[in-house]
Amino acid sequence: MATEQSGFPTLVPALITKVNIGDVNPLGVIHNGSTVTHFGTPTGTIETVTGFEPAFKANVNWGADWLSFDPDGQHARINLKGIARTEQGHSIDFRYKGVIRMADDVKKIFEFKPDMATVPFGYATGAHSFVVADPALKEIENSTFVSNGRIIVHEKGLTVETRQSKVVPAAVMN
């Protein structure tokens, strides 16, 4: 029997993506009042979690985030696009759109403050999509993924990590 709680999708843990921040190119304030900064993401990995199918591991070989900061300073908008290549040599076009709540610890990172530190999951959420030619990976192209993100501060710089879950449609009909 359908209830007000039925019909909602569930989530299945699927992927962990890590992209390393490279060049930082501030664009400045644009027509809508947002401040845009282009962050290169030239390296990283995309890997499925244990038990998720289709299983694969890929290395990021190009990427960039056109990150826009809202005029009120409370949120930033992720617009990341990238290319990765699987261990079998197949390319994956990946996209990530999301929102970051600009808490003080997050602001320190984007302002490159000396006391910046890794921030936990809970400040950024997003949606991911993939375009692939490899028939073995078509399931990721034909699925919806949502994520939590965090920024890792380390001796070599910054890494953005997202943990993505596949959205599974509800089986109960209302």
What domain count does the chain have?
1
Query: DSSP label at 33?
Result: S
Look at residue 5 and tell me if it is in a domain: no
What are the pLDDT digits (tens) for 13-53? Answer: 999 999 999 999 999 999 999 999 999 999 999 999 999 99
What are the pLDDT digits (tens) for 74-128? Answer: 999 999 999 999 999 999 999 999 999 999 999 999 999 999 999 999 999 999 9
Distance from C-alpha of 90 to C-alpha of 76, rounded to nearest angstrom: 32
Q: Which domain holds residue 72?
A: 10-168
Distance from C-alpha of 91 to C-alpha of 59, rounded to nearest angstrom: 10
Look at residue 2 and tell me if it is in a domain: no
What confidence tier does 4 reach under pLDDT thresholds 50, 70, 90? confident
Residues written for the chain: 174
Look at residue 174 and tell me if it is in a domain: no
* Contacts within 8 Å (CB) and 24+ apart, 7-11: 7/170, 7/172, 7/173, 7/174, 8/170, 9/167, 9/168, 9/169, 9/170, 10/167, 10/168, 10/170, 11/146, 11/165, 11/166, 11/167, 11/168
Look at residue 80 and tell me if it is in a domain: yes
Look at residue 21 and tell me if it is in a domain: yes
Look at residue 121 and tell me if it is in a domain: yes
Which CATH number do you get for residue 80?
Answer: 2.40.160.20
